Structure formats: structure tokens, C-alpha cells
A and B are shown apart, each in its own frame.
Chain A
């Protein structure tokens, strides 16, 4: 490969996953020059993730299906090679920090690609030292990856992707689970890669963090490239134009200002759930404890719980729903001190990974678990709940065959069915495009209007500013 050949050259690539009817990527051609930083954007299901898989040759050798066209990555025709040949040339970073590391120990993880290349231990250690210095992650070495925060895990994933000094780094929605501080770290790492002259391709929903780093924005829609902007051109588009393309905001400052305004304590009675002198945390090996300011959740209100990774948001909502006991203080339900058991009965939590909480082989059956499904009144009520959440057409479907957003709604439907009055959502919009984020926002409003008290744990400034009535920032109120 000559030095001035494009790093990526796609000629009419098209791919249909096995079992799918429509191609995920349609007749797409693109060239990315060495050293360019290109952002692939577009709504969920627009084909950008599949396109990253075509680039790093996971399509067609790992994800099977019908592939046509020609894909050259770093000068190699991906149809004629095994993925292993790209290992030293292409580094890949994926969406989920939890499932992309292979070793239990951070240093082992960085060594892993170099070990597979057959480098000597001295060479491996030298490379690890180099990457650590370049990214400032020496303090993360020799630690258990399981105990790192999502942001730290993602930094390790980045470091492992570049330990072989590849020509190209491909990232698939690397920030969907990260908070603002971790995203800033990611940005710094991308800048570092660019300074090294590496080519960077990022498929991403969240766009604001890439301002000034990206050289080019490629917009996908329905499996095709619909626009290809130089950075200045793209950044000068109006907010309305960006929104019309279904993309997330380019400037988060207005949203952050709104969030600061919403971050006010309230004085009022008749809260559904209220805390007094609460101290939350865990005992034992992973001990962690912190006090939290008194807070209240009212019927009809959406409260955003914000703050960086590791400040105790998840521990707080687990305490509020009675899944763990408070270390001290009390949680009150309608003004009366409540035991964890009562809180679990009155509250519900939609987990970030909703797959854990669907148990049946049909959507309607899911709502009827534990209830008398021969009672026509109860079945009738289930149908009403399904209709109110636009789930009626899917009543007979298997929950696992639904989209992520539909699964969230099924979980919420099950909560409504059992008369829960306090509903917590944990990061409901991570990895969602603008349209689906707004859909979640409308759903929150609808639940609040039905008289539920809603708490939403989120890093998503756009969701928080657009839909929350009040914000509790756990980091600020430490």
C-alpha cells in the first residue's frame, strides 16, 4: 500500500445479515484518507454500526450474510483475508465497556494483542509503557478490570486497541455508557491518536464531544450515505437542521444551563417517596458509603438524578426501591417510614439492560405474571395498559423479539399493571438517537401525567433538560 492511498476505500459495498430481508448497508462508497478523523452519524438502524464492521472485516467473516462490493482497509481486500491479518493494522473499540475486555487484569489486557502477535515479553512491556504514558493511564495498570468504572474501562479498551500502533482505529458508539468527564477523556485520547497520524472512524450518536476533533461527518440514513460534510460545513448547520436529520445536538451548553436552573431543592409536602438523613452504600469487600441530602419525589413529577460515574446514583436508586438497605437514615413512603420490602412493592426500576427483567414468552403474559389470567377483568386491564403504551400490536410477540425501546415499555407496562407508583429508570437513553430519546422523554411525561412519581438516572443532558421537572445532582450535593 502506498502512503497516499486511502486508508479505507469502499466500492459499492452492500451487506444483508443472515435472516434479514433488507440490506443493513446499501451500495455504499467512501474513501477515508490517512490521518482523517471521520464521524459516522445517523439514527439508530441507519447502518453506521454495520459499516464499521465492514471496515474492520467482522463483516463478512464473523457476522454472516450476503456481502457484495469491494472493501479495502489499509490496502487489503477484506473479502480475501482473515480478520487476524488486520490485527496489527486496525484497532477496534466497541460500545459496551463491560463486554469488550478479555482479561481480568488491565496490564494483561493491554498485553493481549501483542501476545497474540508473538512479540517478546520485553517488547510487550515496552509497548505497554509507551501507551500508558501517551494516554496517562499508568495509574490504571495492574488492577482488576471488573472494579473499574465504565469510563476507565473504555480508556483501557482504547489503549488495548492502539497498543500495536495500528494505522486505523474504528470506534462503534464508544461513549454511550459514559458520563461527561469520561467523554472528555475519550476526546483527549482521540486527539492523541490524530496527533500520531492515525486514521480514526467513529460511529456515534452523541456529537457534541467531537467538535473540533472530527474532520468530516458522514450522515447515514436507511443504510445509505446521504450527506458527506467537511467539519466546518457541518458545524455551521443550524440546530434545527441537525434535529431534522435526527441527530443529537452539536452544542450542549444551552442544555447544561437549563439543567443548572432545574437543580433546585423544593419545599412541599405529600411526596410519594422522601428521604431523611439517608446514608447509602455497601458493606463488605466493595465497601462504599456516602450521605445523601434529603430529597423528595412527587406524583406527576419527573426528577433527573445526575452526577458522574461512581458518585452513587445506582446505589441511591437501589436504596429507594428497597433492593438494598440504607446504612443509616430512612426512606419514607407517603410520609411513613418504609421498610425495604415495602419500597420494593411500591417502586419499580427499569434497568439499563432491560433484558434482565423480561421473563415470559409473550408480551401480554409478561403483564399477567403472578396475576389471575383467567379473570376477564384483569386481562382487560392488561390490554388497556398495553394500548396506552402503544404495545397492543405486539401483545402476542416474544418480548425478546422487540426493539430496545419496546422492551423498556413492556417492563414499564408490567410495573403499571402491578400498580407501582414510583418508577425509576436507569440510563434509559444510553445509545439512543434523538428520535428515540425524545420518545423516552414523552413516555416519562405520560407516566407522570398518570400520577406516577418518576426518577430518571441519566448522563444525557438533552433528556434531562428537555423533560425533567427537577434535577438532583449527587456530585454537587456531596
Chain B
């Protein structure tokens, strides 16, 4: 029952990969603002469908704010320093589609489905394995981050919402050092576990996870490709 629902509301990993590539092409081709807006809305729909509407809402708000900042006219307002702000906003906005599709791919794909998809498209193992390790790694980083913030609070280091903002560089160092120290340990443990279970084994690997492209997958790919293609062709 669960898996049936999951299949309907969750896209095939290969479709997610296509979305990621489309988002990167947008960045590459400097698409028009209108195309960008359409694409962002399209990219947010699968997130909503996967039940991540809170995440989708956050992205939507960030996108709206950044777009508004990008439209500011500093000369008209008589505040030339705003140029910096609007330039940064436009830059961040261009990267946002990549973040959205990336967050979607990472938060809704299980490692097993991902391995299965990568092998289906005949990706070399040297690419598959590091990608899977990264996917497996993300949740541990989130957990580690919470632990480190708790440890910082106990030490009275940059605690509270403002603490981080007052000394951003130092706070970053305090977070990054323990995070990286642990990351090396975790990476070693994971590698050892995966190796003994034959992840690197030569020869055919199989999968009990079934993935297939549904009409919805194809529809998603077509609908998301069209605006970008029209933009690149200069129609929009």
C-alpha cells in the first residue's frame, strides 16, 4: 500500500536527475526572469506532491523576496549601496532552481532507488558509489549539526539566534571543525560496512527496488523542458 502511494506521488530518480540538469542549464543559459519564475513554480510542484509542502513554501517565499530585491531600482530610491544587495539577490536567485531540484532529489530518493536508477542508465560504478555515499551522508550531517549547536549552547559559544550573526566567521569555524572531524569517522565506518557487504563487487548487481518511468514522469520532463527550450531558442 505504502509503496504504491509512494510510486504515484514520487517521481522516478531518473526524472529527478533530468530536473537537476534542467536547473543547471537555466543557470548556464541565463534565462529570462519570466522563464525562471515559470520553472521555479514547475520545480516546486513535485516537492508539494511528495508532501514536502513546508519546504516548498520556504523556497517560494525566498524566491519571491529575492525576485523583489532584484527589481529594486537603487538610483530611483537614492540609495546606491542597494546595488550590492540587488546584484546578490539576482545571483542567489539564479542558483535557487538548482537548490530546489537538489533538495527534492536528496530528500525524496532512497539510496537503493538511486543506485538502481544510476545502474539502469549505465552510469559507471566509479560515479555511482560516491554519489550514494553522499546521499547516505546528508541526514548524518543534519544530526551532527544539531549536536554541535547543543554543545555550543552548553559552552555559551554563539548561542541564541543572534550569536551566530555577531561572529559569523568564528561560529562557522566552531561548527565546521567538529563536523568535519566526525565526517571522516563516519565516512570510514560507512565505507567499511559497504565494502564488506560487497558494494564494490565486480559483476552484475541486481535490485529488489523496482523503479519505472510512468506517464507522469514523462509529462513532468516535457512540461519542464518546454519553457527552457523556448527561452534558449529565443521565443520568450
Please report A residues at the B interface, Cβ cutoff 8 Å.
Answer: 56, 58, 62, 82-84, 86-88, 90-92, 94, 96, 98-105, 107-108, 111-121, 124-125, 142, 146, 160, 318, 321, 323, 344-345, 347-349, 351, 353, 355-359, 369-370, 400, 414-415, 418
Inter-chain CA distance A297–B154, complex, in Å, is 19
The answer to whether B111 touches A146 (Cβ under 8 A) is no
Inter-chain CA distance A108–B203, complex, in Å, is 20
**8 Å CB contact of B190 from A99, A146, A323, A348:** A99
Binds A, one of B56-64, B155-163, B223-231: B155-163
The answer to whether B191 touches A124 (Cβ under 8 A) is no
A56 with B154: in contact, given A102-B136, A103-B110, A121-B208 (CB under 8 Å)?
no
- Smallest beta-carbon distance B220→chain A, Å: 23
The answer to whether A84 touches B200 (Cβ under 8 A) is yes
Asked if B34 is at the interface of the complex by the 8 Å CB criterion, the answer is: no
Inter-chain CA distance A359–B170, complex, in Å, is 10
Closest to B204 in A: A118
Asked if B214 is at the interface of the complex by the 8 Å CB criterion, the answer is: no
A-chain residues with CB within 8 Å of residue B148 when the two chains form the complex: 356-357
The answer to whether A120 touches B112 (Cβ under 8 A) is no
What is the size category of the interface that chain B forms with chain A? 35 or more
Asked if B30 is at the interface of the complex by the 8 Å CB criterion, the answer is: no
B-chain residues with CB within 8 Å of residue A121 when the two chains form the complex: 206-208, 210
The answer to whether A102 touches B193 (Cβ under 8 A) is yes
The binding surface of chain B is classed by DSSP as helix
The answer to whether B196 touches A321 (Cβ under 8 A) is no
A-chain residues with CB within 8 Å of residue B152 when the two chains form the complex: 359
The answer to whether B154 touches A344 (Cβ under 8 A) is yes
The answer to whether B157 touches A99 (Cβ under 8 A) is no
The binding surface of chain A is classed by DSSP as mixed
The answer to whether B208 touches A115 (Cβ under 8 A) is yes
The answer to whether B186 touches A99 (Cβ under 8 A) is yes
Inter-chain CA distance A414–B152, complex, in Å, is 12
Please report B residues at the A interface, Cβ cutoff 8 Å.
Answer: 2, 110-112, 132, 136, 139-140, 144, 147-148, 150-157, 159, 173-174, 177-178, 181-182, 185-186, 189-210
Inter-chain CA distance A105–B136, complex, in Å, is 11
Number of A-B contacts (CB under 8 A): 158
A-chain residues with CB within 8 Å of residue B207 when the two chains form the complex: 111, 115, 121
- Smallest beta-carbon distance A57→chain B, Å: 9
The answer to whether B110 touches A105 (Cβ under 8 A) is yes
The answer to whether A351 touches B209 (Cβ under 8 A) is no
Inter-chain CA distance A165–B208, complex, in Å, is 19
The answer to whether B182 touches A356 (Cβ under 8 A) is yes
Closest to A324 in B: B150
Please indicate which of the listed interface residues B110, B153, B178, B206 has the most CB atoms of chain A within 10 Å of its own CB: B206
Closest to A120 in B: B206
A–B pairs, 5, beta carbons within 8 Å: A100-B190, A100-B192, A112-B112, A118-B205, A121-B207
Closest to B156 in A: A370
A-chain residues with CB within 8 Å of residue B202 when the two chains form the complex: 84
Inter-chain CA distance A94–B157, complex, in Å, is 34
A-chain residues with CB within 8 Å of residue B174 when the two chains form the complex: 359
Inter-chain CA distance A290–B161, complex, in Å, is 29
The answer to whether B110 touches A104 (Cβ under 8 A) is yes
The answer to whether A58 touches B151 (Cβ under 8 A) is no
**8 Å CB contact of A108 from B112, B151, B192, B205:** B112
